[in-house]
Amino acid sequence: MPELPEVETVRRRLAPVLEGRRLERVEISDGRLTRPLDPAVVAAELSGERVDRLERRGKYLIVRFESGRALLVHLRMTGSFRQHATEGDPHARAVVRLDDGSDVVYRDVRRFGTWLLLEPDELEPYFASRLGEEPLGAAFTPAALSARLAKRKAPIKAALLDQRTVAGVGNIYADEALWRAKLHPLREAGGLRKPEVAALHAAVIAALEAGIERQGATLRDYRQPDGSSGSMQHEFKVYGREGEPCDRCGTAIDKIRVAGRGTWYCPRCQRLYAASSSSRRPSLSSRHSSV
C-alpha cells in the first residue's frame, strides 16, 4: 500500500498536470470508487470544476477546486494515475478530460481506492476525526507525538499504524522509523520515556524524508533510457530484510508479527527489555492487542 512518501511522489508528479486546469469531462466506470454515491452523479458534479491546488494529507491526495470543494483520493492498495489513456485498459476506473485536451486516467487493479467529493466546510472535520498531525508539518512535535501515545497499551508499532497517531505512516515506514529510533516494535506505546519519544519523532521524519528521496530517485531512474535501476535495489534498513545484516551492528534482521502485520527489526539494536529497568516489561497481553 502506498504510504506518505509514495503519495507525496504522486502529488509532485501530478500537480503540474492538474493545477489551473478545468475538468472538461469526467467518466467514472466503477461504482466502487464513489460508493455509496452514484458514480455518474459524482462525475457530473466534478465536470466543470477548475483545479486550484493538488495537496496531500497523510495518505490522501486532495484535489482542491477553485469553488472551494475538494476531491479526496485514497489510492489504498493499487490506485494510480496515468497521464494518457490506453485503449481497452481493463483496470481504468475513471478518465478525466482536461481543458487542454489531455486525459488523466485513474487505474486500480484491486479496486480498493476511493474518490470522495467534499463541500468546502467538510474537509477539516473529515480529517480531524481520522488523522493525527502531518509528520512533515510544523504541528508534529515531540510533545504532540507524546500526547498521541499517552496511556496507550498497544505496541508502538500498532500505534504508529493508527493514522490518528501520525498521518501517513504505514507498515514500511513504521518499521523503518522504529529501527532508526532503536525501539522494539512491541514496546508499549504509552510507556516510552521522553527521550525515546523524541528519538521516535526524529526517526519518523527521517524515514519519511528518505522515502520521498528514494521515490524521486526511482522516478528519475524510470526515465533513464539505458534501463539502469539506480537506487531502487537498496535503501530499506529493515523492511523486508529478514536474515540480512543490520546496517548498524551486523546482527541478522528478525521478522515477527505485530498487529497482524509482518514486522522487521534488529534484535540487538531494538531491545524489548532495557538492561537496567526490568520493571518496564510490557505485559504479555500487550503483545496481542491491536490498533
Residues at the contact surface with Zn ion, assessed by CB under 5 A:
246, 248-249, 251, 266, 268-269
Residue 174 CB, nearest approach to Zn ion (Å): 17
C-alpha atoms less than 13 angstroms from C-alpha of 206 in its C-beta half-sphere: 16
Is residue 157 flagged as an active site residue? no
CB under 8 Å to 234, separation ≥6 — which residues?
A: none
- Looking at beta carbons only, is 15 or 274 nearer to Zn ion? 274
Dihedral sign for Cα atoms in the order 247, 242, 110, 135: negative
Residue 249 CB, nearest approach to Zn ion (Å): 3
- Looking at beta carbons only, is 148 or 241 nearer to Zn ion? 241
Chain residue at closest Cβ approach to Zn ion: 246
- Looking at beta carbons only, is 33 or 246 nearer to Zn ion? 246
Residue 241 CB, nearest approach to Zn ion (Å): 11
Is residue 2 flagged as an active site residue? yes
- Give the CA-trace dihedral at 231, 233, 236, 239, to 10 degrees: 150
Q: How far apart are CA 53 and CA 22, in angstroms?
A: 12
- Looking at beta carbons only, is 136 or 206 nearer to Zn ion? 206
Q: Which three cell numbers stand for residue 170?
A: 504505514
C-beta of residue 230 within 8 angstroms of C-beta of residue 222 = no
Is residue 261 flagged as an active site residue? yes
CB atoms < 10 A from the CB of 284, how many?
7
Is residue 164 flagged as an active site residue? no
* Annotated catalytic residue, options 11, 21, 56, 59: 59
DSSP assignment, residue 51?
E
Alpha helix (H) ranges present in the chain? 4-18, 39-46, 123-128, 142-149, 156-161, 171-181, 194-222
C-beta of residue 78 within 8 angstroms of C-beta of residue 112 = yes
Distance between the two ends of the chain, CA-based, in angstroms?
Answer: 17
Q: Which three cell numbers stand for residue 134?
A: 502531518
* Annotated catalytic residue, options 2, 39, 135, 155: 2
- Looking at beta carbons only, is 130 or 248 nearer to Zn ion? 248
* Annotated catalytic residue, options 261, 268, 280, 287: 261
Residue 173 CB, nearest approach to Zn ion (Å): 18
Would you please indicate which residues are annotated as catalytic (active-site) residues?
A: 2-3, 59, 261
